Amino acid sequence: MTPASMAAAAAGAARTKAEGSRLTPADESSRCPYLVVRNPAAVRDVLQRPSDFSPANALIAVTPLDGPALRVLQGVRFALPPVLASNDTATHAGIRKVVAGFFTPATVAAMEPRIRELAQEAARTAADQLESFGSADLVQAVAAFPPAVVMLELLGLPVQDLPDLKQWGRDSMELFWGWPDESRQLELAHSAAGFYVWIRQLVAESSKSAGRNLFKSLAEHGLSTPEICSLGYFLLIAGQETTTQLISTTLFRLLEGSTPFVWDDAASHAGSNAAVRHVLVSESSVPTWRRVAAQDTNLGDETVAAGTEILLELSGNPITSPASPESPLPPWQTDQNKQATNFSLVFGAGIHRCLGAKLAELEATVIVQETATTLPLIQLHDREPEWIHLLSFQAPRTVSVTKAIR
């Protein structure tokens, strides 16, 4: 099953699906609220027509929140007004420019030594745990914290409360992209409310601090406090937990031996980067993303009614996965244009394309490489870990390893 079809199955059976550019009606009685689009050309078409296919639903809870959870959020004046990822108005371009100023190609490239330093430190922690306890969880030891530290440093924000930040990020992902029942919603809403209050405090402090930081720049751009909090809430999750999840899946698949690359390959920059790109294309941490039809429009030959919610498959579609003897490329696709189709969609496309794409790829590559270099002789301790499977996020929760017996 592909990520999008797993997500669709979890939400109910797929109502319609796009194969090629055709949309095929499926079971009318099913409850999946999404039009699932899998064909890469159709996905790209949707992403590049923001006035027809709006991102306004990007941050709407997949499972409508019940009264008790809503009251907890209202209690802290929690609100996510459209600012960046879900903004379909003309203000998006100016705000995006402010945020992009913190992730320029030059800034990201200059961060590589710092990323490597953090990666080496994290890998040594894992090595120490292996020595002391005989096992280590690579998600906690190497994947979890470096992306959060790097993100906060790039944004000019204090590096503090990291364990809370990680927990808040995972909880908010589940609240907005998962299928929690009423009691779980309540737990998650308390966590999201705590996160929101923390962000509001940080926004207030940052606007008074001396140096350059994202929140201050957004205030200078004219954003209100609720708008800055909304952007901060999205970015402090999207800017680090997605990368943690990409690293976790890459480490797991390499150690499992289910990628075209082996653990030893990952000890080089090129080998690690190839493994990271393979995971991005085959089972990215963000396998799907949403859009909603802003007006009656068409996709290929089919009409799409205004208000139709769309689930785009960005990764994991068998026809977009690398060729192998068991699944050769379709005759109309060359290896070259196929790679371009694949990789160019995993971070979205068009005016909302991910602003952290280069950073995420660099972080994942360096962290996987340093882990494979420092721990050449390890093996999976748990080959069937629990996974995070949400509408738009996925990764193993743990990558538990022991020393290899060779």
CA 213: distance to chain centroid? Answer: 23
What count of Cα atoms within 13 Å lies in the side-chain half-sphere of residue 123?
A: 22
* Smaller CB separation from ligand HEM, 86 or 185: 86
Look up residue 260 and give its amino acid: P
| Interaction pattern, residues 18-57, with ligand HEM; x per rule: CB under 6 A | -----------------------------x-------x--
Query: Alpha-carbon distance 338 to 319, whole Å?
Result: 9
Burial class (CB in 10 A: 0-12, 13-18, 19+), 190: middle
- Which residues on neighbouring strands pair with residue 364, listed in sequence order? none
Report if residue 188 touches ligand HEM, rule: CB under 6 A: no
Taking the complex as a whole, how short is the minimal distance between the CB of residue 104 and ligand HEM, in angstroms?
12
Report if residue 275 touches ligand HEM, rule: CB under 6 A: no
Query: Alpha-carbon distance 376 to 28, whole Å?
Result: 53
Taking the complex as a whole, how short is the minimal distance between the CB of residue 136 and ligand HEM, in angstroms?
23
- Integer angstrom CA distances of residue 70 from 64, 80, 164, 194, 379: 10, 13, 22, 14, 44
Site for ligand HEM in 197-226 (CB under 6 A): none
- Which of 65, 142, 286, 367 lies at the binding interface for ligand HEM (CB under 6 A)? 286
Residue of closest CB approach to ligand HEM: 356
Size of the site for ligand HEM (CB under 6 A): 31
- Which of 320, 348, 371, 394 lies at the binding interface for ligand HEM (CB under 6 A)? 348
Report if residue 242 touches ligand HEM, rule: CB under 6 A: yes
Q: Which residues of 306-335 are buried (b: 16+ CB within 10 A; e: fewer)?
A: eebbbbbbbbbbebbbbeeeeeeeeeebee
254: helix, strand or coil: helix
Site for ligand HEM in 77-116 (CB under 6 A): 84-85, 96, 99, 103
Report if residue 235 touches ligand HEM, rule: CB under 6 A: yes
- Which of 239, 271, 316, 396 lies at the binding interface for ligand HEM (CB under 6 A)? 239
Pairing of strands 16-19, 34-37: parallel
Report if residue 292 touches ligand HEM, rule: CB under 6 A: no
Which residues are at the interface with ligand HEM (CB under 6 A)?
47, 55, 84-85, 96, 99, 103, 151, 235, 238-239, 242-243, 246, 284-286, 289, 314, 346-350, 352-356, 359-360
